[in-house]
């Protein structure tokens, strides 16, 4: 919880700072509710969550006095209520194995690091993990994933730079099946500048996977960088169209004051949130605990 708190320190300071001094000794009125709503919006929680929290506050306390402490408690409770329904850990349940987890997201969002963190996570639970270097577009991406595989001691399937990602994934599923691997985690290209190409590439990967196992990919996890704030939300929009997202992992919650975007994502999209990233190391992935997060940020 200490490290989690550390991860949300700036977000918490921002939200708390924005809510400080909003309520006075007067009774809760519309002007104060406006201010609360504005404070939530500028804290990156988004208009929908802000309106919802405002409505709750109004319903509970309109025309009555409210202390700053009570205000923050109500905000925390409502944030938890928004987050609880989307908290869903990524579990290895596929039968037959391997469970194929496609990891998508724009370059720089923390995709490769998140794959390493997930691999480490599953290893800790004694699952056999294999990686597939499906981002064949960037030479650095293959090398970076291979370095992680080395450090983690997990096998990796890779092809030549510029090769066909679908063929890498095909080889990966074959190898994982032969070796009795529990989960194959697949890196993919994140070239959102060329949406059509990316869509075709992901569709081809899906097609090839589906031919090997109609249930694959079992998960399509979108990695989002919290420091992008509201732009992270438009990435959800695009990737939903391009790839059919089944869940989210938000990264870089350490060192940003924009962690409120997690609440905005939950309220606006309702997609499962699997975990959060709070650092660059392999053990910097945290389970998504909605009550803890709500308590920490508000
Ligand atoms: P990719 O291009 O999406 O594969 O992104 P990378 O995994 O290479 O990450 C881009 C940069 O963000 C790297 O310097 C990572 O170390 C860093 N990074 C990834 N996740 C986190 C995180 O949770 N917190 C912080 N502070 N940095 C992160």
Tens digit of each residue's pLDDT (9 = 90 or more) over 106-129: 999 999 999 999 999 999 999 999
pLDDT (0 to 100) of residue 194: 86
Cα gap 138→198, rounded to integer Å: 13
Whether 259 is in the pocket of ligand 1, judged by its Cβ within 6 Å, is: no
Please state the length of the chain.
Answer: 298
Burial class (CB in 10 A: 0-12, 13-18, 19+), 180: exposed
Model pTM above 0.80: yes
Contact between 25 and 8 (Cβ < 8 Å): no
Give me the pLDDT at residue 191, please: 86
pLDDT at 5: 64
Beta-carbon count within 10 A of 26 CB: 10
Q: For 31-63, what is each residue's pLDDT tens digit?
A: 999 999 999 999 999 999 999 999 999 999 999
190 marked as part of a ligand binding site: yes
Which pLDDT belongs to residue 1?
54
Ligand 1 and 9: CB distance under 6 A = no
- Indicate if ligand 1 lies below 6 Å from the C-beta of 44: no
Ranges in the chain, pLDDT < 50: none
User: Does 117 contact ligand 1 (Cβ within 6 A)?
Assistant: no
Q: Which atom of ligand 1 is nearest to the CA of 141?
A: 4
pLDDT for position 3: 60
110 is in an annotated binding site: yes
Decide: 73 and 159 in contact? Cβ < 8 Å: no
Residue 263 beta carbon below 6 angstroms from any ligand 1 atom: no
Distance 181 CA to ligand 1 centre (A): 26
Residue 242 C-alpha to ligand 1 middle, in angstroms? 22
The two structure tokens encoding residue 69: 């402490």
Residue 95 CB-density burial (10 A; 0-12 exposed, 13-18 middle, 19+ buried) = exposed
HEC sequence for the chain: CHHHHHHHHHHHHHHHHHHCCCCCCCECCHHHHHHHHHHHHHCCCHHHHHHHHHHHHHHHHCCCECCHHHHHHHHHHHHHHHHHHHECCCCCCCCCCCEEEEEECCCCCCHHHHHHHHHHHHHHCCCCEEEEEECCCCHHHHHHHHHHHHHHCCCEECCCCCCCHHHHHHHHHHHHHHCCCCEEEEEECCCCCCHHHHHHHHHHHHHHHHHHCCCCCCEEEEEEEHHHCHHHHHHHHHHHHHHCCCEEEEECCCCCCCCCHHHHHHHHHCCCEEEEECCCCCCCEEECCHHHHHHHHC
Q: Is 108 annotated as a binding residue?
A: yes
């Amino acid at each position: 919880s200490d490290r989690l708190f550390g991860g949300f320190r700036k977000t918490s300071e921002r939200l708390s700072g924005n809510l400080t001094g909003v309520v006075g000794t007067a009774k809760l009125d519309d002007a104060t509710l406006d201010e609360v709503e504005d404070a939530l919006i500028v804290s990156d929680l988004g208009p929908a969550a802000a309106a919802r929290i405002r409505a709750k506050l109004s319903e509970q306390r309109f025309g009555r006095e409210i202390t700053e402490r009570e205000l923050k408690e109500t905000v925390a409770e409502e944030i938890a209520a928004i987050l609880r329904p989307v908290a869903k850990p990524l579990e290895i349940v596929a039968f037959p194995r391997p469970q194929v987890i496609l990891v998508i997201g724009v370059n720089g969002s923390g995709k490769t690091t998140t794959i390493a963190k997930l691999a480490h996570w599953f290893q800790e639970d004694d699952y056999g993990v294999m990686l597939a270097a499906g981002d064949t577009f960037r030479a650095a991406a293959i090398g970076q994933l291979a370095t992680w595989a080395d450090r983690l001691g997990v096998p990796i399937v890779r092809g030549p730079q510029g090769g066909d990602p679908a063929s890498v994934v095909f080889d990966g599923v074959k190898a994982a099946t032969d070796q009795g691997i529990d989960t194959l985690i697949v890196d993919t290209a994140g070239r959102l500048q060329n949406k059509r190409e990316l869509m075709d590439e992901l569709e081809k990967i899906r097609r090839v996977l589906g031919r090997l196992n109609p249930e694959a990919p079992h998960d399509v996890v979108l990695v989002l960088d919290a420091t992008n704030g509201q732009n992270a939300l438009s990435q959800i929009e695009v990737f939903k169209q391009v790839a059919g997202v089944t869940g989210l992992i938000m990264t870089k919650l350490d060192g940003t004051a924009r962690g409120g975007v997690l609440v905005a994502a939950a309220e606006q999209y309702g997609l499962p949130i699997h975990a959060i990233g709070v650092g660059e190391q392999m053990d910097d992935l945290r389970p998504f605990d909605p009550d803890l997060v709500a308590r920490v940020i508000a």
